[in-house]
């Protein structure tokens, strides 16, 4: 028998070995390469974008005067509230649609109808019906995350292998037991993918949501900077949104791996 270690198909560490240091190293190399390319392109003035040192200087200024922290807290509050409300409602609706054909027939036309309408197109209606306070901002973000999450949950339920359901029935399991012990675990990977997509949709909708009479927020700061052609501030807001979104996505990825530890991975 061979005494060599078992590794992943990409030559990474064995499954369950902990942190993938090679992957982290590649991530870091990619980040450094991206910044270097950005710096080279802007150093000669060939591209009308601010160089990294100028953006870094604006980062420091906005951190020092507390403006960046205020904007981050405002945007995070809106995104988290809308995102969590969307996911909390989407998961049970998706389960109901997937489990009951009658509910699916009643709900799916409305779901597909609203999926075809960009959440940004709802902004005028949200302003007229909900005013200009925090409610319409959160509602637009909620709608974006809800639609992504509910479709993934519904797809997860209807994709469960019927053989597993029939086997559980043969063994005497009732509908509730099948739902709890078969449907939910089997559809969890789909749900978590939908949650991650919903998170991306929430952040993507943030800037437009903060068009609604916002006084603080990363999207609001970008819109203000646009009026004065303040490119460094725009870059600071864009990079901050990217960093926050990436951090939240990585948290969801860790949760996904822990909840689907049984799932075979490449």
Task: Judge whether residue 75 has pLDDT over 90.
Answer: yes
Q: What architecture is domain 56-259? A: Orthogonal Bundle (1.10)
Reduce the DSSP state of residue 224 to 3 states and report it. Answer: helix
End-to-end CA distance of the chain: 24
What percent of the chain lies above the pLDDT cut of 90?
27
Nearest CA-CA partner of 225 in 67, 81, 109: 67
Across the chain, what does the average pLDDT equal?
Answer: 83
Whether the Cβ atoms of residue 96 and residue 158 lie closer than 8 Å to each other: no
Residues 6+ apart with CB under 8 A from 178: 165, 168, 169
pLDDT, mean of residues 6-27: 57
SS3 content of the chain, % helix, strand, coil (to 5): 75, 0, 25
Q: What's the half-sphere exposure (Cβ side, CA atoms, 13 Å) at 151? A: 16
Burial of 28 (0-12, 13-18, 19+ CB in 10 A): exposed
Q: Which helix (H) or strand (E) holds 230?
A: none
Average pLDDT over residues 79-91: 94
If DSSP codes are grouped into helix, strand and coil, which group holds residue 13? coil
In this structure, are residues 148 and 118 in contact, taking their beta carbons and an 8 Å threshold? no
Report pLDDT for 61.
93
- What is the model's pLDDT at position 263? 62
Q: Between the ranges 56-70, 172-186, 245-259, where is the mean pLDDT highest? A: 56-70
What is the rounded distance in angstroms from the CA atom of residue 190 to the CA atom of residue 209? 27
For residue 4, pLDDT beyond 50: no
Highest mean pLDDT among 82-86, 117-121, 228-232: 82-86
pLDDT digit string, tens, across residues 121-132: 888 888 888 888
Provide mean pLDDT across the span 246-261: 86
Q: What is the pLDDT of residue 19?
A: 55
Give the pLDDT confidence score for residue 17 in this predicted structure.
Answer: 45
Position 85 pLDDT exceeds 90: yes
Contact in structure between 68 and 240 (CB atoms under 8 Å) = yes
The arithmetic mean of pLDDT across residues 213-227, rounded, is: 88
- Render the burial of 164-181: b for 16+ CB within 10 Å, e for the rest: ebeebeeeebeeeebbee
Mean pLDDT for 153-163 is: 85
pLDDT band at 244 (very low <50, low <70, confident <90, very high): very high
């Amino acid at each position: 028998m061979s005494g060599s270690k078992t590794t992943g198909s990409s030559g990474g560490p064995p499954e369950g070995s902990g942190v993938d240091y090679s992957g982290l190293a590649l991530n870091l190399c990619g980040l450094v390469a991206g910044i270097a390319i950005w710096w080279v392109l802007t150093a000669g003035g060939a591209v009308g974008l601010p160089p990294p040192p100028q953006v870094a200087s604006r980062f420091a200024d906005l951190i020092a005067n507390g403006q960046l922290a205020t904007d981050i807290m405002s945007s995070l509050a809106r995104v988290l509230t809308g995102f969590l409300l969307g996911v909390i409602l989407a998961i049970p609706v998706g389960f109901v649609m997937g489990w009951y054909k009658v509910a699916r027939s009643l709900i799916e036309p409305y779901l597909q109808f609203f999926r075809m309408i960009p959440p940004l197109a709802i902004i005028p209606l949200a302003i007229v019906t909900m005013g200009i306070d925090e409610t319409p901002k959160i509602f637009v973000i909620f709608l974006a995350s809800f639609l992504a999450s509910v479709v993934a949950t519904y797809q997860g339920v209807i994709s469960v292998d019927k053989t597993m359901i029939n086997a559980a029935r043969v063994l005497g399991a009732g509908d509730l037991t099948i739902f709890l012990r078969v449907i939910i675990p089997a559809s969890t990977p789909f749900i978590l993918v939908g949650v991650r997509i919903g998170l991306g949709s929430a952040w993507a909708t943030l800037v437009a949501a903060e068009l609604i009479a916002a006084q603080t927020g990363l999207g609001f700061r970008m819109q203000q900077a646009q009026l004065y052609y303040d490119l460094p501030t725009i870059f600071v807001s864009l990079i901050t949104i990217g960093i926050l979104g990436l951090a939240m996505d990585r948290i969801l990825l860790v949760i996904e791996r822990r909840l689907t530890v049984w799932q075979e991975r490449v």
